């Protein structure tokens, strides 16, 4: 039985064509369960959102590249993510969940197949590890040019960022640190996030507009000032992603075309669009030619 709603089938068309090699830097693939069963100890049970459905979404929106964020519902079984990387033939990269005892040989294999980061959740319903595991993994992935991806609750963000600054690898903060839009750009969590502007190895995903919004329904306009502030502060280290198929959404299911159009409206400059959608993902995830 599913405890997540499926993504919208009908979405708003993009307002304009995206630049060549545009990258959706945050989405998930679920199942299909008959081929890739969900983990027994999973934090949620989604409806299937397979590779083919994701490819169709990207075709409709105009994305040529993407970054698969391996989801907690599949646990440490990377089979669906690796299958998507193989089928994508260089079009995709991935962020993995790794067990602490993952061997160096396995990390090397994952690097060859397109994995570029390890994700750690500091969110109550998704928590998969603690700081000690993260800190132990960082030097092991450093030789491969990988980074640490962090999904954290806003209340934990200021303290986490101080620790993340000490790592020997870059780090990426998912969904604008889930800083509450209700607190505005002056909120403690968001101010801590803005403080990363001068850290050369800190990156932020301006994804999850629905997750920071307090509205509970589209178009999540209260979160737009956070996006604008980040684009002004650190456009050279921002990434944008759909977060499709939007697991654990409370309220309206996001419209991926509407989310993209909001980004394009808030970022009308073509050079900055290209930086966030093309150049930044290329630097961090190292796609091929």
For the chain, the domains span 23-285
pLDDT for the residue 112: 97
Q: Residue 130: its pLDDT value, please? A: 86
Active centre residues (catalytic): 243
- Characterise 182 by phi-psi region: left (phi > 0), alpha (psi -120 to 50), beta (else): alpha
pLDDT given at position 129:
66
* Two tokens, residue 179: 């800083």
pLDDT attached to residue 125: 67
Unique residue bearing structure tokens 């968001």: 190
The whole-number pLDDT of residue 289 equals 64
* Residue 191: φ, ψ to 5°: -65, -35
pLDDT tens string, the chain, 289 residues long: the values are 678 899 999 999 999 999 999 999 999 999 999 999 999 989 899 999 999 999 999 999 999 999 999 999 999 999 999 999 999 999 999 999 999 999 999 999 999 999 999 999 998 766 656 899 999 999 999 999 999 999 999 999 999 999 999 999 999 999 999 999 999 999 999 999 999 999 999 999 999 999 999 998 999 999 999 999 999 999 999 999 999 999 988 779 999 999 999 999 999 999 999 999 999 999 999 998 6
Contact 284/239 with Cβ under 8 angstroms? yes
Beta carbons within 10 angstroms of residue 96's beta carbon: 22
Name the 3-class secondary structure at 251. coil
Tokens 């890739």 found at? 36
Q: How far apart are CA 58 and CA 63, in angstroms?
A: 5
In this prediction, residue 223 carries a pLDDT of 98
CATH T-level topology, domain 23-285: TIM Barrel (3.20.20)
225 Cβ partners below 8 Å, 6+ apart?
181, 184, 185
- Count the neighbouring beta carbons within 10 Å of the beta carbon of residue 248: 16
Q: Are 128 and 121 in contact (CB under 8 A)?
A: yes
Alpha carbon distance 19, 277 (integer Å): 8
DSSP annotation string for 205-241:
E---HHHH-SSSSTT-GGGHHHHHHHHHH-GGGEE--
């Amino acid at each position: 039985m599913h405890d997540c709603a499926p993504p919208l089938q009908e979405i708003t068309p993009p307002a304009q064509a995206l630049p060549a090699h545009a990258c959706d830097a945050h989405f998930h693939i679920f199942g299909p369960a008959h081929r890739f069963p969900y983990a027994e100890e999973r934090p949620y049970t989604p409806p299937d959102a397979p590779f083919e459905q994701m490819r169709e979404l990207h075709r409709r929106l105009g994305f040529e590249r993407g970054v698969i964020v391996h989801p907690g519902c599949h646990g440490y079984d990377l089979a669906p993510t690796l299958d998507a990387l193989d089928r994508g033939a260089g079009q995709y990269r991935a962020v993995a969940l790794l067990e602490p005892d993952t061997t160096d040989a396995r990390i090397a294999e994952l690097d060859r197949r397109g994995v570029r980061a390890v994700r750690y959740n500091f969110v109550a319903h998704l928590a998969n590890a603690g700081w000690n595991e993260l800190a132990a993994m960082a030097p092991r992935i450093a030789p491969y040019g990988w980074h640490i991806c962090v999904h954290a609750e806003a209340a934990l963000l200021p303290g986490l960022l101080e620790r993340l600054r000490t790592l020997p690898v870059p780090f990426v903060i998912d969904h604008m640190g889930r800083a509450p839009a209700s607190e505005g750009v002056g909120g403690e969590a968001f101010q801590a996030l803005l403080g990363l502007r001068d850290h050369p190895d800190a990156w932020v995903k301006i994804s999850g507009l629905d997750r920071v919004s307090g509205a509970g329904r589209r178009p999540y306009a209260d979160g737009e000032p956070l996006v604008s502030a980040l684009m002004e502060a650190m456009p050279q280290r921002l990434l944008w992603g759909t977060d499709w198929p939007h697991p654990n959404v409370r309220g309206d299911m996001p419209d991926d075309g509407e989310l993209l159009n909001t980004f394009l409206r808030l970022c009308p400059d073509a050079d900055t669009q290209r930086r966030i959608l093309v150049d930044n993902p290329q630097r961090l995830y190292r796609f091929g030619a």
